[in-house]
Amino acid sequence: MEKMGTAIGGYAPDFELPGTDGSVHHLFRYLERLQAVGVVFMCNHCPYVRLYLERLKQIQTEFQTQGFTLIGINPNDADRYPDDSFENMREFAEQHQLNFPYLRDVTQDVAHSFGAEKTPQVFLLNRDGILCYNGQIDDNADQPEAVGTAHFRAAIAQVLSGQPITPTYIPPIGCSIKWRP
């Protein structure tokens, strides 16, 4: 099967998706006012998402005053995986006190357009909507204190300071996205 999605250096697909906060979120609106946007494909039930959740919230806290936001998107098939229903997403966002928007990609079009494969998988966009980084959050899912390289954090810092991103891709670790049949 040919891999689809946005290539590094390509324009990220625009989207309008409903959020657990009751609003509709439009990528272009974020890009109009921010220096960088991180999109993380995630879900409620993936053990890797749960391992990374506090780190994602820390990244949002650390960079939000520097013109950055993180946006979580759940593309999983909620018919086969009811834990990922929109109602359960609302409960998940509240229970875990998410400090970033959590959106629902019911059609899975956004996940396909980005080329998402795993949860969690991050995509970093600069203010022009160009994909600068894709992949892992860091190199140690199990032990936050033992992280050797915080790939996503480093990429965000590089984009915000106008430096080139290296590396631009690290294969994501996590659960496969639960595609609709």
Q: Is the pLDDT of residue 166 over 80?
A: yes
- 33 band by pLDDT with thresholds 50, 70 and 90: very high
Name the nearest CA neighbour of 73 among 21, 110, 98: 110
Question: Model confidence over 104-155: pLDDT tens digits?
Answer: 999 999 999 999 999 999 999 999 999 999 999 999 999 999 999 999 999 9
- 99 band by pLDDT with thresholds 50, 70 and 90: very high
| Cβ 84 vs Cβ 45: under 8 Å | yes
The whole-number pLDDT of residue 3 equals: 55
Rounded (10°) angle between helices 47-63 and 151-160: 30
Rounded CA separation 119/43 (Å) = 7
Q: Is the pLDDT of residue 1 over 50?
A: no
Q: Is the pLDDT of residue 4 over 90?
A: no
Residue 113 burial class via C-beta count within 10 angstroms: exposed 0-12, middle 13-18, buried 19 and up: middle
Bond into 120 cis (ω within 30): yes
The whole-number pLDDT of residue 2 equals: 44
